[in-house]
Structure formats: structure tokens, C-alpha cells
């Protein structure tokens, strides 16, 4: 997981990772609830999604053993 301070940073980092060949999904407070759940489920249940890039909104939903990085 990578945490960013702002929504636009979250999207930028997630897009950069995908362009660099890494599977990633974004999770921000500006997303609809269903979109947040879909992104989170992809990260938790999928071996394909390597990185979840999120604002602090993810801290409410995530209890994961994957590595966490604070990108601030």
C-alpha cells in the first residue's frame, strides 16, 4: 500500500505505477462507495493487483498484511 495526502496524487501515482508495468488500483474519498469497495476487493483478493494507492480513507477499511508505504 502507498498512502498519498491528496486525491490527485493518488491517481497520479497509481497511473505511474501502471505505466511502469505494475498492477495498481487507487482508493480515494472522492470515489463513490461502490468504487472504493471494488478497488479494495481487487487489492485484497487478487494476486494480480500488486499495489493499492490510497488517501487516508483506506485506513478505515484496510487490515492487510501487505507492505505499507507512506508517500507524503
Q: Kindly list the domain boundaries of the chain, sorted by start residue.
A: 2-70
Q: Can you tell me the distance from the alpha carbon of 15 to that of 45, in angstroms, rounded to the nearest whole number?
A: 21
Residue position matching grid coordinates 500500500: 1
How would CATH label the architecture of 2-70? 3-Layer(aba) Sandwich (3.40)
pLDDT of residue 10: 95
Average pLDDT, the chain: 85
Query: Cell triple for residue 61?
Result: 477499511
Q: Can you tell me the distance from the alpha carbon of 64 to that of 7, in angstroms, rounded to the nearest whole number?
A: 21
Tens-place pLDDT, residues 20-45: 999 999 999 899 999 998 988 888 88
Instruction: Please give the sequence-ordered ranges of beta strands (E in DSSP) within the chain, or none if there are none.
Output: 2-3, 24-27, 51-54, 69-70
Q: Can you tell me the distance from the alpha carbon of 58 to that of 72, in angstroms, rounded to the nearest whole number?
A: 15
Amino acid at each position: 500500500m502507498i498512502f498519498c495526502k491528496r486525491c490527485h496524487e493518488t491517481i497520479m501515482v497509481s497511473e505511474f505505477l501502471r505505466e511502469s508495468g505494475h498492477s495498481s488500483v487507487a482508493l480515494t474519498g472522492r470515489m463513490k462507495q461502490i468504487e472504493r469497495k471494488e478497488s479494495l476487493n481487487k487489492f485484497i483478493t487478487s494476486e494480480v493487483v500488486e499495489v493499492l494507492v490510497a488517501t487516508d480513507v483506506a485506513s478505515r477499511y484496510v487490515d492487510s498484511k501487505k507492505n505499507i508505504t507512506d508517500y507524503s
